[in-house]
Amino acid sequence: MANMTSMGFTRRGLLGAFAATMVVAAPTLSNAFGVIRGAGDIRRVRMYSGRTGESLDTIYWIEGEYIPEVLKEINHFMRDWRNDETIKIDPRNVDIMAAAHRLMDVSEPYMLLSGYRSPATNAMLRSRSGGVARNSLHMKGEAADLRLKSRSVKQMARAAETCGGGGVGHYYKSNFVHMDCGPVRTWGG
């Protein structure tokens, strides 16, 4: 965490104050990342985990730059909760999640069902369900399974698909959407 400066501000505090003063319009292009670098853009992600009881509400990107300390917090938050293993989460996937959230114009945080999955966890889940890929992008830190109470699977998937940044899986029976930064594709829709 950032050290206190002589004026008593932390880097996180300054970023929070900066974000509070920003007015950020929702993207209007089909590509949600079509924002010009350095144009005052910020990127924020909001999630909670029912498994760990943790919440995350943070700005992880400002003016064309990722904030390394915050990306480390995201890595920890999206860890494999079954064995506490972490991996570097691909920031492109966080971008997709954040852009889709912004497109839906909601304040509710995502419920993170699954972020990183260790190979052992993925193998265990695969043995219990035919819907788990052998080479899941979850094992590379490139996927997340998410839910919102205020939006349907269809609404969430449509927002993620609009971003055009990766794969989007519709899981209606389980009420969640898979978002990844792999090849652009959809399934279950």
Over the stretch 91-129, which tens digit does the pLDDT of each residue have? Answer: 999 999 999 999 999 999 999 999 999 999 999 998 998
The letter for the amino acid at 116 is Y
Q: What is the pTM of this model?
A: 0.79
Is the pLDDT at 166 greater than 90? The verdict is yes
Beta-carbon contacts of residue 45 (< 8 Å; ≥ 6 apart): 56, 57, 58, 60, 74, 94, 97, 98, 101, 110
What letter would DSSP give residue 141? T
Place of tokens 């009881």: 53
Output the pLDDT for position 40.
61
Contact 163, 103 (CB under 8 A): yes
Q: Work out the mean pLDDT of the chain and round it to a whole number.
A: 84
Is the pLDDT at 70 greater than 60? The verdict is yes
The two three-digit tokens of residue 172, written as one number: 């209606």
Output the pLDDT for position 130.
75
The letter for the amino acid at 163 is C
Output the pLDDT for position 129.
81
pLDDT > 90: percent of the chain: 71
30 confidence band (pLDDT: 50, 70, 90): very low
The whole-number average pLDDT for the span 47-54 is 95
The two three-digit tokens of residue 178, written as one number: 């898979």
Is the pLDDT at 146 greater than 60? The verdict is yes
Instruction: Give the three-class secondary structure for 106.
Output: coil
26 confidence band (pLDDT: 50, 70, 90): very low
Output the pLDDT for position 82.
95
Is the pLDDT at 37 greater than 50? The verdict is no
